[in-house]
């Protein structure tokens, strides 16, 4: 394993940090949050045109840069440092991989070049609060999280010439502004229920969208109502939708982990700067031993989380991390004689990214909470940015966690608490 960064990766980080430093300072951040979209369209255009960020991990055949999930995660670290509100997570991390994995040739040729160019934003709409479940971050996604019957969610029914959708989806990242919605819907009735993904233009007839007030304002969310909306099935009807969602979850967790590390590192930097300036009893409070100890603990937590996040980004890259997938255990009752198709369908997702996400979210929560405390009275004010980092940690846990469930599922996937005759050691 080579843990060093390539010159290209270092250049991506450096260029993106410089751009965000000049275009997404505290004042610009506040102004962007107050816009109807919740982000600065000019900044998004700059990220697309100057850096090619929306297409960073897309194939060059579709106008992308052709990099891997590792580069996308490292870019996420820089956007996390600045808490930059943008459609990057929803478009490039949630939606684009699903289109690339499941879409037909015509769908990929139509949508992916526009996503790579930054002219089309997209998002994944999952009913209720089941986004983490759908991505297999906190549990197996083979349940009824998509709804159906009295469970609510979004219903899909066949109609002449295609499909029609009816239902409501809350807490959709950029759901109020995205140009394209990838909607997870329940189809087939009770006896043959299944989850399918559908493409719905944001301005389609029957779509009603409104921005919601979110705990973390830097991740704008919307409520989407679908009132007998015409929809196009993403890919073929027999495609492995659940497998694609679980596969996308690996990249999502790795990018989120790097985002959290960037935010935690910046929160710590701001706190260290402040305690070096604020004085009590004629000396900087940063010189007090108790303050030094608290910040040292935060530093250790952030550095450990950084190592976990980088490894998760490395493991999420197919050419590098594919070897890690051999540690994934098959489900109970599976045998070693299963064929390749069965193995692809049933083999468990790797747990590196989920463990890294849990550790980085915990580090961000610790760093931001200590930052608020050590900033004193000003740290509790709306005008200061300290609370935004704490809300990022809490908001990500609500959407993609919580931490204890991420760890519990990773332990279950790794069969950490199971024993077998082969694992017993005779002393």
pLDDT tens across 108-147, in order?
Answer: 999 999 999 999 999 999 987 899 999 999 988 887 787 7
Options 3.40.50.10380, 1.10.540.10, 3.30.360.10, 3.30.70.2500; CATH of 7-120: 1.10.540.10
The answer, yes or no, to whether residue 345 has pLDDT greater than 80, is no
Confidence of residue 300 (pLDDT cuts 50, 70, 90): very high
Which pLDDT value is given to residue 341?
A: 36
What average pLDDT does the segment 372-400 reach? 94
137: exposed, middle or buried (Cβ count in 10 Å: 0-12, 13-18, 19+):
buried
Beta bridge partners of 169: 224
What average pLDDT does the segment 45-72 reach? 95
Which pLDDT value is given to residue 346?
A: 32
Confidence of residue 427 (pLDDT cuts 50, 70, 90): very low
- Whether domain 124-233 has CATH 2.40.110.10: the reply is yes
CATH code 1.10.540.10 region(s) in the chain? 7-120
Which pLDDT value is given to residue 191?
A: 52
Which pLDDT value is given to residue 192?
A: 65
Please give the backbone phi and psi of residue 232, each rounded to the nearest 5 degrees, phi first.
-110, 130
pLDDT top residue among 418 and 189: 418
Cα separation of 214 and 199, whole Å? 25
Q: Which fold has domain 241-413?
A: Butyryl-CoA Dehydrogenase, subunit A; domain 3 (1.20.140)
Counting residues of the chain whose pLDDT is more than 90, the rounded percentage is 75
> Which among 56-60, 377-381, 409-413, 418-422 has the top mean pLDDT?
56-60
What is the C-alpha R_g of the chain?
A: 22
Which pLDDT value is given to residue 237?
A: 86
CATH code 2.40.110.10 region(s) in the chain? 124-233
What average pLDDT does the segment 241-270 reach? 96
pLDDT top residue among 246 and 344: 246
Query: Among 124-138, 153-167, 188-202, 401-415, where is mean pLDDT lowest?
Result: 188-202
Query: Among 108-122, 246-260, 308-322, 358-372, where is mean pLDDT lowest?
Result: 308-322
Q: 72 is written with which tokens?
A: 């996308």
Beta strands in 202-317 (DSSP E): 207-212, 221-233, 279-280, 283-284
Mean confidence (pLDDT) of the chain: 88
CATH code 1.20.140.10 region(s) in the chain? 241-413
Using an 8 Å Cβ cutoff, are 85 and 219 in contact? yes
The answer, yes or no, to whether residue 343 has pLDDT greater than 50, is no
Which pLDDT value is given to residue 163?
A: 95
Of 95, 113, 69, 270, the C-alpha closest to 198 is 95
What average pLDDT does the segment 72-92 reach? 96
The answer, yes or no, to whether residue 170 has pLDDT greater than 70, is yes
What average pLDDT does the segment 220-226 reach? 96
With DSSP H G I counted as helix, E B as strand and the rest as coil, what are the percentages for the chain, rounded to 5?
Answer: 55, 15, 30
């Amino acid at each position: 394993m080579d843990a060093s960064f390539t010159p290209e990766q270092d250049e991506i980080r450096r260029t993106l940090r410089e751009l965000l430093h000049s275009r997404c300072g505290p004042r610009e951040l506040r102004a962007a949050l107050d816009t109807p979209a919740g982000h600065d369209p000019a900044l998004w255009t700059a990220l697309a045109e100057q850096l090619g960020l929306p297409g960073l991990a897309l194939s060059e055949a579709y106008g992308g840069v052709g990099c891997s999930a590792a580069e996308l995660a490292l870019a996420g670290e820089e956007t996390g440092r600045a808490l930059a509100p943008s459609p990057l997570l929803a478009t490039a991390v949630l939606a684009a991989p699903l289109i690339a994995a499941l879409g037909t040739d015509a769908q990929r040729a139509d949508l992916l070049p526009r996503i790579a160019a930054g002219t089309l934003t997209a998002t994944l709409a999952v009913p209720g609060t089941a986004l983490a479940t759908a991505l297999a971050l906190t549990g197996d996604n083979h349940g009824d999280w998509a709804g159906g019957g009295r469970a609510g969610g979004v219903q899909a029914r066949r109609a002449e010439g295609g499909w029609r959708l009816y239902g409501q989806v809350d807490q959709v990242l950029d759901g109020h502004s995205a140009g394209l919605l990838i909607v997870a819907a329940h189809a087939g009735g009770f006896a043959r229920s299944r989850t399918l993904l559908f493409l719905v233009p944001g301005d389609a007839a029957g779509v009603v969208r409104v921005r919601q007030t979110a705990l973390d304002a830097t991740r704008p969310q919307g409520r989407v109502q679908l009132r007998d909306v015409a929809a196009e099935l993403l890919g073929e009807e027999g495609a492995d939708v659940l497998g694609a969602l679980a596969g996308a979850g690996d990249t999502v967790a790795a990018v989120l982990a790097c985002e959290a590390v960037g935010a935690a590192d910046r929160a710590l930097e701001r706190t260290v700067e402040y305690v070096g300036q604020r004085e009590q009893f004629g000396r900087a409070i940063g010189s007090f031993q108790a303050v030094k100890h608290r910040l040292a603990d935060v530093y250790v937590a952030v550095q450990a989380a950084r190592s976990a996040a980088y490894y998760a980004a490395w493991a999420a890259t197919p050419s590098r991390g594919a070897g890690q997938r051999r540690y994934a255990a098959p489900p109970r009752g599976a045998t070693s004689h299963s064929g390749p198709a069965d193995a692809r369908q049933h083999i468990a997702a790797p747990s590196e990214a989920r463990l890294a996400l849990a550790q980085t979210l915990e580090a961000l929560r610790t760093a931001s909470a200590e930052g608020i405390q050590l900033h004193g009275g000003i740290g509790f004010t709306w005008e200061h940015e300290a609370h935004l980092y704490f809300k990022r940690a809490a908001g990500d846990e609500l959407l993609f966690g919580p931490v204890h469930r991420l760890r519990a599922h990773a332990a279950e996937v790794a069969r950490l608490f199971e024993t077998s005759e082969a694992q017993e050691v005779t002393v």
